[in-house]
A and B are shown apart, each in its own frame.
Chain A
């Protein structure tokens, strides 16, 4: 424990570590606040004037528009479609662009979170094309919750045609999603994107810290003395790995918690009760509310984060100097993003999961995987990408940590 304390003290004494830890903390707050700036509404003042409000003022406005809060019943959805159709017909609009802003905010804004989902639920089973608002059948919308499983089956038929087990797995998972959905105004998709971006940036910062844990010893020559001491091999390697995990891990978790607390304090905690299916696909597989999704994204991302850090430590134990350790660490941390963009299809999906920092990124993130219906297949067995990412992540943490310690102990010139 004493050695661990001294090692942590040593790492924390480097200026770059402090700068990055402070930046992480700052990001935790700023990344929670930025989505607030996207909020906006047009309101009519007591004097009858129209006024545009933004930021926290807009958040407060939406928090008071409570007509649709609570259970998202079929009746509420029918009401939403009816009002939308009336307004669209008044302005002879198909997609809403002809509807004046003040009318939208006055009449439609409180229904808008549901309209996209209703159209998605009643999309054409063969083409996947969603109907326009005016094409929706209000009576049919009454069967909204019965329609969801049919919709999911159609999606799986389109995306996983040759893999019936994937379809069955998806339907089984969706069966656990609690219905009717619930809705309260709060942090939405923008915030979740920022949580993902925030986790990605913290990972990059932590890679910079972890990359030099072993390589700095070798670069400075401190290594020669340390390795000649009684505890200078396995114990020191273990202490270095533990210290790196503690510093980066606690920072990531702490900043993630700060992000969640700040986000929900700004947008309102009520919003955490909203079903994630209201803000993402209506057939999303995780049985989460938005609040649970925030934690799942943080904790799941945390597993992938630790896997990335453990691999960076392994690279550090092999590298002869800080620059190569840092360069390799960053390349491997960014590799899943490059693979996601450059390698299409099954190979890309597999690589995105298998790579040491799989799931770290933006488009290739765990959040997007949770909102997606991608499966990986071995023979006739199919596995949801999210499950594979997390299982491999849990496996990678001890594997690369052990390899880092092993490489450090067995290193001979």
Chain B
């Protein structure tokens, strides 16, 4: 099973949102990282078949998804960045409605909904209107609908936005379990969401894939560019505008500890650190703040 994105381009009036992207997705969890506006959502909408590429094609097992139509949608699950729902629906009504659209029988629907609500700790709110749920709960309802048909291809656009840390950990575990023999593509700019569960990562910038590989392989791209040092708080102002500071921490001795990115160490007491995926992310997107 593979999903091949073949030289796909999409242009909005004066902006090239996706620029000749080619990528072959195989079973496993894929992280799609990039800053806001990098083209991730546009690419995902094209994979979902709700947006047509200006050029190029998306192929599922060598067949264009445009020609597969319902067959493709039958094995597909999608959670968009903005989870839209009918305000009048309760959680159970909404999931039943989507299940019917996904072609699940009544029995399958009942069993699947019970299971997902349990797994996503939504059982207590099954009769509540979605509109009255917290942001995190809404997001979990969105995740539940995407998993209803046990899709072979699961596309999740910013799935953890609004989830608290505990919920995010739980979600990552559910996804890791689910991803066996399936293609799961998670778009995010929250690096830790994919750092530990993604088998492969693609990093998008200005509509193009600029880096691709396993977490370890990508981390090597910033090897010898991550350092740690300590300094007095008074010295910090001197470095703030000049260094890409990943992390700042007040130490017990009154000094501050800095984790920063640089081609060369900038202080004598700097020591090289093992790189992480978020270091690469910040190296590639210097304007972004670190989200953990």
B201 located at the interface, meaning its Cβ lies under 8 Å from any Cβ of chain A in the complex: no
A222 to chain B: which residues have CB within 8 Å?
Answer: 84-86
A229 located at the interface, meaning its Cβ lies under 8 Å from any Cβ of chain B in the complex: yes
B71 CB to nearest A CB, Å: 8
Cα-based distance from A327 to B166 in the complex (angstroms): 46
Cα-based distance from A216 to B87 in the complex (angstroms): 10
B96 located at the interface, meaning its Cβ lies under 8 Å from any Cβ of chain A in the complex: yes
Cα-based distance from A222 to B80 in the complex (angstroms): 9
Q: Give B60-99 interface residues, CB cut-off 8 Å to A.
A: 69-70, 73-74, 76-80, 82-89, 93, 96-98
Given A2-B100, A231-B70, A224-B50 contact (CB < 8 Å): yes
B93 to chain A: which residues have CB within 8 Å?
Answer: 9-10, 13
B84 CB to nearest A CB, Å: 2
Q: Is A412 touching B50 in the complex (CB atoms < 8 A)?
A: yes
Q: Is A220 touching B50 in the complex (CB atoms < 8 A)?
A: no
Q: Is A10 touching B88 in the complex (CB atoms < 8 A)?
A: yes
Cα-based distance from A230 to B49 in the complex (angstroms): 12
Question: Which residue on chain A has the smallest CB distance to residue B142?
Answer: A225
Q: Which of A221, A236, A413 contacts B101 (CB 8 A)?
A: A236
* 0/1 string, B29-64, CB within 8 A of A gives 1: 000000000000000010011111000000000000
Q: Give A219-252 interface residues, CB cut-off 8 Å to B.
A: 220-233, 236
B156 CB to nearest A CB, Å: 12
B127 located at the interface, meaning its Cβ lies under 8 Å from any Cβ of chain A in the complex: no
Q: Is B86 touching A228 in the complex (CB atoms < 8 A)?
A: no
Cα-based distance from A69 to B78 in the complex (angstroms): 72
Q: Is B102 touching A230 in the complex (CB atoms < 8 A)?
A: yes
Given A223-B84, A224-B45, A412-B52 contact (CB < 8 Å): yes
Q: Is A228 touching B52 in the complex (CB atoms < 8 A)?
A: no
Q: Give A1-33 interface residues, CB cut-off 8 Å to B.
A: 2-3, 6-7, 9-10, 13-15
B128 located at the interface, meaning its Cβ lies under 8 Å from any Cβ of chain A in the complex: no
A227 to chain B: which residues have CB within 8 Å?
Answer: 49-50
B103 located at the interface, meaning its Cβ lies under 8 Å from any Cβ of chain A in the complex: yes
B217 located at the interface, meaning its Cβ lies under 8 Å from any Cβ of chain A in the complex: no
Q: Which of A7, A220, A231 contacts B87 (CB 8 A)?
A: A220
A3 to chain B: which residues have CB within 8 Å?
Answer: 100-101
B132 to chain A: which residues have CB within 8 Å?
Answer: none
B70 to chain A: which residues have CB within 8 Å?
Answer: 230-231, 233
B77 to chain A: which residues have CB within 8 Å?
Answer: 228
Cα-based distance from A13 to B89 in the complex (angstroms): 8
A230 to chain B: which residues have CB within 8 Å?
Answer: 70, 73-74, 101-103, 149
Q: Is A413 touching B84 in the complex (CB atoms < 8 A)?
A: no
Q: Is A6 touching B96 in the complex (CB atoms < 8 A)?
A: yes
Cα-based distance from A166 to B68 in the complex (angstroms): 56
Given A3-B101, A220-B85, A232-B101, A225-B145 contact (CB < 8 Å): yes
Q: Give A299-322 interface residues, CB cut-off 8 Å to B.
A: none
Question: Which residue on chain A has the smallest CB distance to residue B52?
Answer: A412
Cα-based distance from A233 to B66 in the complex (angstroms): 13
A224 CB to nearest B CB, Å: 4
Q: Is A221 touching B84 in the complex (CB atoms < 8 A)?
A: yes
Enumerate chain A interface residues (CB-CB to B < 8 A).
Answer: 2-3, 6-7, 9-10, 13-15, 216-217, 220-233, 236, 412-413
A sample of 18 cross-chain residue pairs with beta-carbon separation below 8 angstroms, ordered by A number, consists of A2-B100, A6-B96, A15-B88, A216-B86, A221-B82, A222-B85, A222-B86, A223-B84, A224-B82, A224-B84, A225-B80, A225-B142, A228-B77, A228-B78, A230-B102, A412-B50, A412-B52, A413-B45
Enumerate chain B interface residues (CB-CB to A < 8 A).
Answer: 45, 48-52, 69-70, 73-74, 76-80, 82-89, 93, 96-98, 100-103, 106, 142, 145-146, 149
